[in-house]
Amino acid sequence: MKRRSLFGLVLVAFVFAMPGRLMAQPDIEPAEPYKVGTFAMGYEQFVGLVMRDDSTIVDLVEANKAMELMPQYSPVDMPDDMLGLIEGYEYGLKYRVYEIVNWMVEEGQLSGSDRPSYVHQVGDVDIRAPIQYPSKIMNAAVNFYTHACEGCTEEELAERTRQRQENRGVPYLFLKPTRGAIIGDGDDVIMPYGRDEIEYEVEMAIVFGRSGKYVSAARAYDHVFGYMVAMDISDRGGRPPGGFSSGLDWFVGKGHDTFAPHGPWIVPKEFYGDPMERLHQITVVDGVTVQEAHAGDMIHNIPELIEYASSLITIFPGDVLQSGTSGGTGSGRVERATGSGYLIDGETISATIQGIGTLTHRVVREQSVPDDLSGSQLPPTSSYRD
């Protein structure tokens, strides 16, 4: 895809700032809120605005080209992929997006039967994972009090929560693969061959918009671009006995293909507000609500997670930090019609974060593997567990 330097952007009515420094904000506000996502029609992929209660998708590059035909608007190089949009957003590009939104609203392009060719109904496009692909996904492990005490009674949960609040320590993070693991709304979650202890976990994904190292909690939101829904699909089957072992195998548990659903789009932070006040996340499996939590259940809040992550590794635009999941995962054995706490072939998972959207995926069991494998592959769980 075409990628251009931020230095090539021609921004109108204000001076462009060097990367790493925020420019003075021009006096412009969007007429309507929007979300941003990656979509496709046929074989053509594009970055789009999501508007009008998630019903309308605008091809951002094509809308920008159309607006440039008007004499009052000077040319601006609009990136045609999400990473490019995120990289330039806080350095002035968002004000061009605001101009596009305001122009379309003023011209009545978002409603009626004669809408321009770059405005689509959401049902007419293929929803892809918004970022293809971040350089890293950082995940918070056991970051909700209810998840740290799956299956506990109310009394046990209260006591365990009290103990943890007195000694929270620092967050525990792990890395997850990107390409291969990341899938978009509607794509299948594949249960790897013979791995039958697969769990769901709904999580808020924080998308970074600015680079940083040692970002303090007080400055954390300055580095955030926006928020999306994520699922951390997990393989709880572990590794077989023998050989090297040092406790949990995070590669086995978290690294399979399709185990990082993202989307369906990103809400820029200016349209979402403080996630620690607003977050409400829900998971439904085949019509049964198995998880529901608010931000108050978090052990380490989002600014603290950002401070910790950036003390270990530099964060870059487009990187993703997932804030953890609540109680109600498969290990908690929430009762469903299948009688299993784990996912079953053919089930449907829906993960929702209010104010952002819903990811929906079908679970599909991988039926076979090549017959020429040497035996060094990860074996079926049933081969070493009853």
Instruction: Specify the DSSP class assigned to residue 26.
Output: P
Tokens read off for 321: 């930090």
| 81 and 218, same domain (yes or no) | no
Which residue type does 124 have? D
| 44 and 155, same domain (yes or no) | no
Q: Considering the domain boundaries, does residue 256 fall inside one?
A: yes
Q: What is the DSSP string of 269-325?
A: GGGT--HHHH-EEEEEETTEEEEEEEGGGBSS-HHHHHHHHHHHS-B-TT-EEE---
What pLDDT, on the 0 to 100 scale, is given for residue 334?
61
| 287 and 218, same domain (yes or no) | yes
Q: Considering the domain boundaries, does residue 3 fall inside one?
A: no
Distance CA 343, CA 381 (A): 14
Tokens read off for 169: 């320590």
Sign, CA dihedral 10-14-15-17, equals: negative
| 151 and 279, same domain (yes or no) | yes
Q: Considering the domain boundaries, does residue 241 fall inside one?
A: yes
What pLDDT, on the 0 to 100 scale, is given for residue 78?
97
Cβ burial, residue 271 (10 Å; 0-12/13-18/19+): middle
| 344 and 215, same domain (yes or no) | yes
| 170 and 122, same domain (yes or no) | no
Q: Considering the domain boundaries, does residue 2 fall inside one?
A: no
| 80 and 103, same domain (yes or no) | yes
Q: How far is CA 148 from CA 7, 35, 164, in A?
A: 47, 33, 9
Q: How far is CA 96 from CA 4, 10, 26, 69, 118, in A?
A: 16, 10, 11, 15, 17
What pLDDT, on the 0 to 100 scale, is given for residue 163?
84
Tokens read off for 355: 């104010």
Q: Considering the domain boundaries, does residue 378 fall inside one?
A: no
Angle at 123 between CA 117 and CA 125, to 5 degrees: 55
Q: What is the CA radius of gyration of the chain?
A: 22
Last residue of a domain, one of 82, 108, 128: 128
Distance CA 275, CA 283 (A): 18
Tokens read off for 240: 């077989």
Distance CA 229, CA 171 (A): 21
CB proximity list for 257: less than 8 A, separation 6 or greater: 180, 181, 190, 192
Residue 324, sorted as left (phi over 0), alpha (psi -120 to 50) or beta, turns out to be left
CB 27 within 8 A of CB 17: no
pTM for this model (two decimals): 0.91
Which of 32, 3, 361 lies closest to 200, judged by CA?
361
| 188 and 263, same domain (yes or no) | yes
Pairing of strands 260-268, 224-231: antiparallel
Which of 188, 198, 160, 211 lies closest to 314, judged by CA?
211
Average pLDDT of adjacent 10-residue blocks, the chain of 386 residues: 36 41 72 98 95 98 97 94 97 96 96 92 97 97 85 81 86 97 98 96 97 98 98 95 88 97 98 96 94 92 98 98 88 63 94 98 97 96 88
Cβ burial, residue 323 (10 Å; 0-12/13-18/19+): buried
What pLDDT, on the 0 to 100 scale, is given for residue 312?
98
Range of the domain at 331: 137-367
Last residue of a domain, one of 105, 128, 151: 128
Q: Considering the domain boundaries, does residue 298 fall inside one?
A: yes
| 141 and 120, same domain (yes or no) | no
What pLDDT, on the 0 to 100 scale, is given for residue 108?
95
Q: How far is CA 8 from CA 46, 86, 224, in A?
A: 20, 15, 23
Distance CA 93, CA 46 (A): 17
Q: Considering the domain boundaries, does residue 52 fall inside one?
A: yes
What pLDDT, on the 0 to 100 scale, is given for residue 66?
97
Tokens read off for 264: 């369906």
Number of domains, the chain: 2
Classify 239 as helix, strand or coil.
coil
Q: Considering the domain boundaries, does residue 312 fall inside one?
A: yes
| 121 and 150, same domain (yes or no) | no
| 144 and 115, same domain (yes or no) | no
| 86 and 191, same domain (yes or no) | no
- Residue 298 belongs to domain with CATH number: 3.90.850.10
Residue 171 burial (CB count, 10 A)? 21
Last residue of a domain, one of 72, 99, 128: 128
What pLDDT, on the 0 to 100 scale, is given for residue 71?
93
Which residue type does 173 have? L
What pLDDT, on the 0 to 100 scale, is given for residue 339?
65
